[in-house]
Amino acid sequence: MDVKNKVVIVTGAGSGIGKAIAIHFAKHGAKVVVSDINLESAQKVVDEIVTNFGEALPIKANVAVFKEVENLVQHTVANFGKLDVIVNNAGIGPHLLRTHESTLRDWDRVISVNQTGVFYCMKVALQQFLEQGYGNIVNIASLAGLKASPNNISYSASKFAVVGMTKSAAMEYATKNIRINAVCPGYTESALLTQLINAKPEMDAILKSVIPMKRYGKAEEIADAVVWLASENTKFITGQTITLDGGTSL
């Protein structure tokens, strides 16, 4: 996959899928900005990349704060002179409750990061891409953005929104040499999945029973798809949602 020397921002890259994506980009020769709300976590990922002879920079950013997103992009361009790709991965999960039991605070918290945060990152990155004359966005959505996800109203709403924003923006900028796609992971080994299973241990067997491959996805498998969409190998792909779910949506 041809991403050598591309400058890539990965949000929420301090752990889980974001960490795997950042490391995968670096392995393929990209210069990676490891962004996370937890700077210590971001620095650990950078250290791992540098130890393996990659190039990376940590930048703390809360994607729910517009000024911090602006700083993230500005700092990246100041350091590397350009921005080729942004991967909008930062996200949080809700408390698992039925819709009428969900709290307003939980709704606002999840929407602010998963939906508004993606909008902020798209808006600021697109301004940079239009100045450059090119760019690439990969949004991390979810299987929960494609099909019903009970007891998960805020998360589901936010991920359906990410899919919609991806498609709408892809149409707007298709003639501007800017591609925008999304990946929709199914049940993947991550902090969010661990949170779910810890809350309801019986969910482990239930979830695996609905996955035709009878296993969870691995963060590295999601990273493969993200780097591919960001590469020069997919120049004619835009506005798509790539589902990585072991067949669950079937």
Q: What pLDDT, in 10s, does the model give residues 210-237?
A: 999 999 999 999 999 999 999 999 999 9
Catalytic residue status for 155: yes
Mean pLDDT of the chain: 96
**10 pLDDT more than 90:** yes
- Which domains does the chain possess? 7-244 (3.40.50.720)
Q: Provide the pLDDT for residue 190.
A: 82
> Using one digit for the tens of pLDDT, what is the confidence trace for 92-139?
988 889 999 999 999 999 999 999 999 999 999 999 999 999 999 999
DSSP symbols for 5-27: T-EEEETTTTSHHHHHHHHHHHH
Q: Which of 120, 155, 173, 216 is catalytic?
A: 155
Rounded to whole angstroms, how far apart are CA atoms 107 and 32? 31
Lay out the sheet containing 135-140: strands in order across: 55-60, 31-36, 7-10, 85-88, 135-140, 178-185, 241-244
Number of C-beta neighbours around residue 97 at 10 A: 14
Q: Provide the pLDDT for residue 95.
A: 81
- Sequence-distant (6+) residues with CB within 8 A of 201 are none
Q: Provide the pLDDT for residue 196.
A: 77
DSSP symbols for 26-85: HHTT-EEEEEES-HHHHHHHHHHHHHTT-EEEEEE--TTSHHHHHHHHHHHHHHHS---E
For the entire predicted model, the pTM comes to 0.96
**203 pLDDT more than 90:** no
**191 pLDDT more than 80:** no
